[in-house]
Structure 1
Amino acid sequence: MSLLRKFTILFGACIVCTSTTSAVADSATGRSRAQVVAELRRLEAAGYNPNANEEYPGNLQTAEHRAAELDPSNSEQAGASAKALKAGGATP
């Protein structure tokens, strides 16, 4: 087998491996990237600023409470993300 053919097979295997793992954005909870982005937008609409590190985690908790008041059906999902963030999980 030629060196170019081996390289092509190895490159193809790398592409397959990276494309399958990028579909899950938060491995701690198994949520998709779209779910994480939707939750971040919901929290930002409730006043969360992910760039305000000096106010973390207080600003996240406040935004979660506000978002839960606006839409109580999402409060369980917000609590799961807060636990994953505090435990050092992947950030959205």
Structure 2
Amino acid sequence: MRVKKTPKLISPTGVIKLMTHAMMGAALGLAFTLALILANPAVAELLNHGGSGAFLVFVVTLVTTFAIGAALTGIVFILNEDKES
């Protein structure tokens, strides 16, 4: 009979790995946002006309979206790595 072991995602190391994935996603989202604003003048113009909060909402939305996506991908990677070992 196989011994049931706890998943590595619940351990402190798993949480640190998951946070690392989320931070990488946030950094990538920030870089993508900057590149989008610089490369597309229409986006910059929309943000200029949107008021003071439009820029912040735009950046936070993209950064959060990338961070959540990277964290979900990190969960898949960590669980897959757990199955292989």
> TM bucket by the smaller chain?
0.3 to 0.5
Considering Cα pairs closer than 8 Å and 6+ residues apart, tell me whether 1 or 2 has the greater RCO: 2
TM-score normalised to structure 2 length:
0.38
Q: As a proportion of its length, which structure holds more strand?
A: 1
* Structure holding more helix per residue: 2
